[in-house]
Structure 1
């Protein structure tokens, strides 16, 4: 027989699990640095939602500073109605989401008042904005969808920035590997159940199997497995499962570790998104957990947005988030705090009533900052005598 190397068919006696279900090489669909893909990972979505919801739900208030005094003033258009697409909550939420996922918020001024102060800013998708010179030694030039942006109509709020850089560091790009590990673990969990809780198996026969026959066998097996029915494979093919329990493959441990890693990236108490602290530390109450959330996760977002928006307003106006809204205590604790503030004289009754959504007292009775003096007990004269 003449040897002919071209087109020679190799004998096949086994059909691997990868031949049936595929090799799982779908890295393009599981890219951890993609915003949409990263958000499909539960801990990333949970962390982003927690931060964006918490910041956007805080009242954004406008003040005017005069020396050491600050006065609450009517919110300008930029705060009261900053976007054509939703409310102030939606506007702040978009900015925080962009910061949390991409490390930058990019805004385009779409409207100004008579003095030239921005009255509306629309946040751009961060993946559509690029910088020509990401270096503080140069004047950066920003582009949106390939078009040069004028500096007067462009607002940039960077998140975590490296020395010498202008653009903020993207958390999901910097920790791409951690996100992708979580995505693969999540994908594994899905396949674990979709494929009948069998992550690997071999269809084996002692006979030669052609490509066409292999395809028929695979199709029979897959169709029967999906319907959880018995299957007749033929050609002496036997099914040999290679069962790997989920806990032995560290599936559950990986899921937990991913939640904790994502929480650490965003400075969130891990328990808030299903992670673990890794120590025996517990929180005494919900209020302490909220303080940790504001201190380690929200504070940087609050400060960056306050600073950026205040720069757009005419001096000496500035904006400030009222973080007390997220730290709102239970009724008894709140009332005790009000009593202390009134007793020490550093809050008026009207200010306390405003915090409780109550109207001011009539005739200006609640505007005073007078400390409440403790009541002196009446003196009782001694028995049988005079005072």
Structure 2
């Protein structure tokens, strides 16, 4: 596996060669027009959706990547797994990939190869700039073709990751694309609540009377209430046009009733709570981190820990597997990339040490001290450390001590 420095040098050479021979895209194949009503940028204005996707990206970007061969972790991680993109950090590369999967349902890696065909760099492309076409041959076998910014990409020059695959569909399906109605409803409910107080068309009160109104009386009363003449024209006297005075005089049985709403009604809190649960369920984010209180469920340490295990296994594992499989195909030989998810599943220190105590039990234990230290990312014990630990342990007594006789 080439080093990062050699990969950078080859990447510059590849870019210079590519600039001399730019590819072209056939005129008949234009980038597909997006028919989605809610774009990714628009959907991210929902705080719940933004936070949920950020949780996924943060969870993946903090994980390390191990490379195995025949089930054994290599002592030295290849440069491609340490830093897939020479222009970005590994965390940024993973963040771009995860965000693309959840926002578009697809992630595309541009693969740059050296003169011997080895992979020297990976860069994440904008999914909106990539066109995918399925072409069928005479035998009915399907082949995917890719274009990026109007230029064709060979099969060896791109890796296509999908969040949800559907037979017969060229692109993957993301949560925003699959649940357009729910996302649009959440946006409409939020915007309606925000415009409730600022909309001038909403009445601020009601003028009512128990008497029968002649035609045109309602308009007269409304005009006078707002400081105008009964016919609706503006008054000449500036003092008479002043409607900021707090005292109003009503007659003919008129009664004014202001439209007062509770703060919870104005902010649509119940609707927002339902929307938060709906968006958290849509993107598969843990309810405990999303600060979502599901009715009937109590948050305890045990069920929060189980929720995290379920989140990693059945929620986060899909993008992790996509990245692992795509990266493994680009590594040489039988090397396979694998995320180290222990950082997400680690319990608190006390619980973890109690579990280590059970594994080291002399009668029922199944691990050694050095194996436990490896789990805690500690080096094996030295001879001096072993001697010090043995000196700390109390010596076992083999003879039963007899009680000294007492004088009567």
Cα deviations by residue, 1:297-333 (Å, 9 ceiling, x for unpaired): 2111212211111111122111111111011211111
Residues 1:141 and 1:58: Cα distance change in structure 2 (over 3 Å): same
Structure 2, unpaired ranges of 5+: 1-35, 206-217, 233-242, 246-255, 387-393, 404-408
Match of 2:68 among 57, 63, 67: 63
Normalised by the length of structure 2, the TM-score is: 0.67
Residues 1:55 and 1:348: Cα distance change in structure 2 (over 3 Å): farther
- 1:155 maps to 159
Does 2:50 correspond to 1:45? yes
| Alpha-carbon distance between aligned partners in 2 of 1:137 and 1:288, rounded to the nearest angstrom | 44
Deviation at 1:165, TM superposition (A): 2.8
Contact 1:64 1:72 in 2 (8 A): yes
Whichever of the two has the greater Rg, that structure is 2
Deviation at 1:119, TM superposition (A): 2.8
Does 2:321 correspond to 1:321? no
Does 2:297 correspond to 1:280? yes
1:100-139 aligned within 5 A: 100-110=102-112, 112-113=113-114, 115-133=116-134, 137-139=141-143
> Partner of 1:155: helix, strand, or coil?
strand
Does 2:307 correspond to 1:289? yes
Structure 1, unpaired ranges of 5+: 1-30, 218-228, 232-238, 367-374
- 2:283 maps to 266
Deviation at 1:99, TM superposition (A): 0.7
- 2:95 maps to 93
Match of 1:36 among 35, 41, 59: 41
Contact 2:67 2:336 in 1 (8 A): yes
| Alpha-carbon distance between aligned partners in 2 of 1:310 and 1:342, rounded to the nearest angstrom | 35
Q: Please, what is the CA RMSD of the aligned residues?
A: 3.8
> Partner of 2:102: helix, strand, or coil?
helix
Cα deviations by residue, 1:176-216 (Å, 9 ceiling, x for unpaired): 111122222222333245x28x8823899549x9xxx9xxx
- 1:80 maps to 82
Residues 1:128 and 1:364: Cα distance change in structure 2 (over 3 Å): farther
1:186-225 aligned within 5 A: 186-192=190-196, 195=198, 200-201=202-203, 205-206=219-220
Deviation at 1:245, TM superposition (A): 5.0
> Partner of 2:289: helix, strand, or coil?
helix
Match of 1:54 among 34, 55, 59: 59
Normalised by the length of structure 1, the TM-score is: 0.70
Contact 1:256 1:274 in 2 (8 A): no
> Partner of 1:329: helix, strand, or coil?
coil
Deviation at 1:255, TM superposition (A): 1.2
| Alpha-carbon distance between aligned partners in 2 of 1:364 and 1:141, rounded to the nearest angstrom | 63
| Alpha-carbon distance between aligned partners in 2 of 1:301 and 1:33, rounded to the nearest angstrom | 23
Contact 2:132 2:144 in 1 (8 A): yes
- 1:358 maps to 378
Residues 1:171 and 1:362: Cα distance change in structure 2 (over 3 Å): same
1:336-355 aligned within 5 A: 336-343=354-361, 347-355=367-375
Cα deviations by residue, 1:226-284 (Å, 9 ceiling, x for unpaired): xxx949xxxxxxx9976665655782222111111111112223342233434435444
Deviation at 1:89, TM superposition (A): 0.9
Contact 1:102 1:172 in 2 (8 A): yes
> Partner of 2:109: helix, strand, or coil?
strand
Contact 1:56 1:92 in 2 (8 A): yes
Cα deviations by residue, 1:93-145 (Å, 9 ceiling, x for unpaired): 111111111111111013x3565232321111111112122889521111112
